[in-house]
Amino acid sequence: MYVKVAIDLALDRLFTYEVPVELCKEVKVGQLLRVPFGHRDARGFALEVRAEACAPGADYKIKPILGIADPAPFFSPEMLKLVRWISEYTCSPIESCLKAAVPAAVLKPNARPKELLFVEPCDGDAQQLTAYQKELLENIRRVGGGWMQPLCREFSTTPATLRALAAKGAVAIAPRAQRRDPLAGRSVLPSRPLALNEMQRAALERIVGADHPVLLHGVTGSGKTEVYLQAIARELEGGRGAIVLVPEISLTPQTVRRFAGRFGDRVAVLHSALSDGERYDEWHRIRTGEARVVVGPRSAVFAPVKDLGLIVVDEEHDTSYKQEETPRYNARDVAVMRGAFEGCRVVLGSATPSLETWLNAQQGKYALAAMSARVAGHPMPEVHLVNLEEEAEAYASAPIFSKFLLDAIAERMRRGEQTILFLNRRGYSRVLECKECGCVMTCPNCSVAYTYHSADSCLRCHVCGGWTPPPISCPDCGAHDFSYTGVGTQRAEQALRKCFPHARILRMDADSTSRKNSHDDLLSKFRAREADILIGTQMIAKGLDFPNVTLVGVLNADASRNMPDFRAAERTFQLIAQVSGRAGRAEKPGEVFIQTFHPDDPVILAAADAAFDRFAAAELQDRKAAGLPPYTKFATALFRARDGTVALRWADLYAKSLARYPGLAVSEAVPPALERAEGWFRYQVQIRAAAAKRIAAAWRWIAQARPVPKDVRATLDIDAINVL
Ligand code: ADP
Ligand code: ZN
């Protein structure tokens, strides 16, 4: 018997090994095997088992495997099929895809759960106990036993005393695997299913009855989560499991609590902040079937749930579902494929679906369930557009906060209600500019302007993380006068404090949340009404549900509208609709102020009206006319080298060759908005075709015919989302 193994070295090929007779019965597809590789021992996944070696050792001798690292397969045959599909579709080495699908922590041999001593009271009466021992035993019985160390601390005793109790048969002491529970110490209140309204019930029936993926298009606050919960409950009743994908940013304790509150211990949580031990334990609880519902970000789409019945992709339009490193998969699309391979239901939910998903629903590839109103008759918020042009005329320069917005905030302060302010930039202000010659301080390694951070008075590069103190004089003209242009969250916060000296203000951006849990802490504070105003970046745009927030302000809607990205309109619509969705989610009605220099822009107008259908119809028409997604498949190829001319030469050569491949529309090689990053020069080629397969085939052809030299990095990103 022979086995084809993918070895963890990113070689993008499978190696054939022989299986010794005594292991023939044990070796299974999907297992992790130990194999000899060169002079080393290596580990690799068994991908195929066959009776014959298909290409008997032409250039190498077939060696036998050394053993089986773990008898339980890490991949089911369906999961292997899925991993292979990702490898094909994204043009990525199979090993990188296998790696993406199993957390590294699970493969580390030392991540196994620690065994600690557990003290358990025995039944029946123990003989000859001293008064002190009797009292101790009673205490241990009362708490139902526990881990040795904490127990000693709690009852002010020693391990020796407990061992003496054990010797008399009063308690049993034995090592036990301690589960590292990411939810430990968090209070989770059990919740019961709510009585669904008419629209929710119709949506649930559509989901349960569908044999296609379902797009659940529900406005913010329409109760999508309750529909997911009840759809999952049905799967559990049928003995099946479920996966819920949420954007990493909205994987807050609040979200987790909603699922844990309904399904208790049957919920496993996977997210990036878990320790290796927690991840190992959660993954194994899923694999053994102890946990039936998995909540996590994009990588949770690979969770080894037994008898998977349903995958929910919440906020399916969210860009965090796209992995921005090899393999560059989109978890939403992987969910749809997994659903097809495993015959399980898939629900894609959003108030602002991606146009890719929307078109699929329009064309009948997906079923559509729509929920067009908020629950319990709560109205959508009233949206006002504020013309910054007029404000600028009235005040000589455009203010960060218009008078309308300030009045509205003051009103909330009076009423004891809360405000969320959204600004799509972090840092004190974006750039440091010489007043004399207008030159902007820029990172020497990356072609981006430095951002000034007032907390430690330094200039930081948001690409490479490099920093420098602000210069004393302009490096170009020697002048000493600088101005800080643009507005970041820190500067907005300061301006706000001037306007409202008594307001309690929280700021949330990448700088204020770099500590572990700081994200959660900030939100808990805001929820507990320990602050009046929350000001932040896109972090606060999604998924938050604060009943006391009745005002939302978008400080500058044009920042995303003017991005050099064909999805700028879509992003702007999503952003405005999502932040607006944070206002007035409970009894009190909400109000939204959107500040813009272009109050007559149809995209901003549609967003203000929450008119998704209108926006989508117009935008689809434009995309169709321009031959852009979702009507075509779009990919970018990026060429990087330390030497700019070398990067350009290869980008150019690939662009010209690919342009000759039938069925592709290929751009010239151009420097992207980010021309240099971390000392690497970058050139980009944009590729479009009717099908992703064609782009992948063309890429394989050129990569084989003209492989790039060692000093050049070439990467293909199919269905690229980040085009800058
Ligand atoms: P969405 O995910 O669509 O933005 P949520 O699921 O967060 O909406 O629901 C918004 C609020 O409405 C939540 O506080 C939720 O508990 C409540 N809710 C949902 N469904 C119902 C219902 N059928 N009856 C009453 N309240 C509901
Ligand atoms: Zn830099």
Between residues 134 and 582, the one the model is more confident about: 134
Cβ–Cβ under 8 Å, residues 548 and 257: no
The lowest-confidence range among 402-411, 629-638, 689-698 is: 402-411
Q: Which two tokens stand for residue 601?
A: 């822009």
Between residues 567 and 398, the one the model is more confident about: 567
Cβ–Cβ contacts within 10 Å for residue 552, how many?
A: 27
Region of 403 on the Ramachandran plot (φ > 0 left; ψ -120 to 50 alpha; else beta): alpha
Quick check: helix, strand or coil at residue 167? helix
Q: Which two tokens stand for residue 105?
A: 């922590």
Residue range 686-700: mean pLDDT, rounded: 94
Pairing of strands 431-434, 482-485: antiparallel
Q: How far is CA 672 from the centre of its chain?
A: 25
Between residues 50 and 689, the one the model is more confident about: 689
Q: Which domains does the chain have, with CATH numbers?
A: 2-107 (3.40.1440.60), 115-177 (1.10.10), 198-375 (3.40.50.300), 382-426+488-620 (3.40.50.300), 633-718 (3.30.70.600)
Q: Per-residue pLDDT tens for 65-83?
A: 998 988 889 999 999 999 9
Ligand 1: atom nearest CA of 378 is 12
Between residues 151 and 448, the one the model is more confident about: 151
pLDDT for residue 308 is more than 50: yes
Predicted local confidence at residue 692, as pLDDT: 94
Predicted local confidence at residue 428, as pLDDT: 42
Q: Residue 677 Cα, ligand 2 centroid: separation in angstroms?
A: 6
Q: Residue 321 Cα, ligand 2 centroid: separation in angstroms?
A: 26
Cβ–Cβ under 8 Å, residues 310 and 243: yes
Q: How far is CA 658 from the centre of its chain?
A: 33
Q: Which two tokens stand for residue 182?
A: 């990411």
pLDDT for residue 160 is more than 50: yes
For residue 201, give the ligand nearest its CA.
1
Q: Residue 245 Cα, ligand 2 centroid: separation in angstroms?
A: 33
Strand partners, 242: 293, 310
- pLDDT > 70 fraction of the chain, expressed in percent and rounded: 88
Residue range 374-382: mean pLDDT, rounded: 81
Helices marked H in 553-608 — which ranges?
558-561, 568-580, 602-608
pLDDT for residue 270 is more than 90: no
Cβ–Cβ under 8 Å, residues 544 and 586: no
For residue 582, give the ligand nearest its CA.
1
Distance CA 267, CA 257 (A): 10
CA distances 151 to 135, 145, 161, Å, are 14, 8, 12
Q: Residue 585 Cα, ligand 1 centroid: separation in angstroms?
A: 9
Region of 409 on the Ramachandran plot (φ > 0 left; ψ -120 to 50 alpha; else beta): alpha
Q: Which two tokens stand for residue 218?
A: 């529900």
Between residues 356 and 677, the one the model is more confident about: 356
Of 130-134, 158-162, 195-199, give the range with the top mean pLDDT: 195-199
Q: How far is CA 345 from the centre of its chain?
A: 21
**Whether residue 224 has its Cβ less than 6 Å from ligand 1:** yes
pLDDT for residue 427 is more than 50: no
Q: Quick one: which of 335, 328, 240, 304 has its CA closest to 695?
A: 328
For residue 194, give the ligand nearest its CA.
1
Between residues 248 and 50, the one the model is more confident about: 50
Which residue has a Cα nearest atom 4 of ligand 1?
221
Question: In sequence order, what are the residues at sequence separation of 6 or more whose Cβ sits closer than 8 angstroms to the Cβ of residue 607?
Answer: 557, 572, 573, 575, 576, 577, 580, 594, 615
Helices marked H in 178-325 — which ranges?
198-209, 224-237, 253-263, 276-287
Predicted local confidence at residue 593, as pLDDT: 93
For residue 118, give the amino acid letter. Answer: F
Per-residue pLDDT band for 91 (boundaries 50, 70, 90) equals very high
Q: Residue 674 Cα, ligand 2 centroid: separation in angstroms?
A: 10
Those residues whose beta carbon sits under 5 angstroms from the ion ligand 2 are 443, 445-446, 461, 463-464, 466
Predicted local confidence at residue 85, as pLDDT: 97
Q: Residue 96 Cα, ligand 2 centroid: separation in angstroms?
A: 28
**Whether residue 315 has its Cβ less than 6 Å from ligand 1:** no
Buried-state track 99-137, b at ≥16 Cβ within 10 A, e below 16: bbbbbebbbeeebeeeeebbbebbeeebeebeeebeebb
Distance CA 214, CA 347 (A): 5
Buried-state track 443-477, b at ≥16 Cβ within 10 A, e below 16: beebbbbbbbbeeeeebbbbebeeeeeeeeebeee
Q: Residue 160: exposed, middle, or buried by beta-carbon count in 10 A (0-12, 13-18, 19+)?
A: exposed
DSSP H or E segment with residue 34:
strand 32-37
Pairing of strands 293-296, 267-269: parallel
Q: Which two tokens stand for residue 688?
A: 């479009």
- pLDDT > 90 fraction of the chain, expressed in percent and rounded: 39
pLDDT for residue 29 is more than 70: yes
Q: Quick one: which of 665, 715, 660 has its CA closest to 686?
A: 665
Average pLDDT, the chain: 85
**Whether residue 196 has its Cβ less than 6 Å from ligand 1:** yes
Between residues 294 and 452, the one the model is more confident about: 294
For residue 467, give the ligand nearest its CA.
2
Q: Per-residue pLDDT tens for 596-613?
A: 888 888 999 999 888 999
Cβ–Cβ contacts within 10 Å for residue 144, how many?
A: 8
Using omega within 30 degrees of 0 as the cis cutoff, is the peptide bond preceding 630 cis?
yes
Per-residue pLDDT band for 134 (boundaries 50, 70, 90) equals confident
Per-residue pLDDT band for 590 (boundaries 50, 70, 90) equals confident
For residue 666, give the amino acid letter. Answer: V
Residue range 261-269: mean pLDDT, rounded: 89
pLDDT for residue 61 is more than 80: no
Between residues 58 and 124, the one the model is more confident about: 124
Sign of CA dihedral 679, 685, 687, 692: negative
Cβ–Cβ under 8 Å, residues 510 and 451: no
DSSP 642: S
* Phi and psi torsions of 701, nearest 5°: -60, -50
**What are the start-end ranges of the E strands in 292-395?**
293-296, 308-314, 345-350, 367-371, 382-387
Distance CA 362, CA 380 (A): 25
Per-residue pLDDT band for 202 (boundaries 50, 70, 90) equals very high
**What are the start-end ranges of the E strands in 375-489?**
382-387, 418-422, 431-434, 451-453, 458-460, 467-468, 482-485
Predicted local confidence at residue 638, as pLDDT: 94
Neighbour order of strands in the sheet with 14-18: 14-18, 2-7, 40-50, 32-37, 67-70
Question: In sequence order, what are the residues at sequence separation of 6 or more whose Cβ sits closer than 8 angstroms to the Cβ of residue 404?
Answer: 384, 386, 593
pLDDT for residue 352 is more than 80: yes
Sign of CA dihedral 676, 679, 685, 686: negative
Between residues 292 and 488, the one the model is more confident about: 292
Residue from 200, 216, 226, 244 to probe ligand 1 pocket by mutation (most atoms less than 8 Å from CB): 226
Cβ–Cβ under 8 Å, residues 717 and 638: yes
Sign of CA dihedral 48, 49, 51, 56: positive
Q: Which two tokens stand for residue 233?
A: 């409950």
Q: Which two tokens stand for residue 205?
A: 């029936």
Q: Which two tokens stand for residue 454?
A: 């007032």
Predicted local confidence at residue 424, as pLDDT: 73
Predicted local confidence at residue 53, as pLDDT: 63
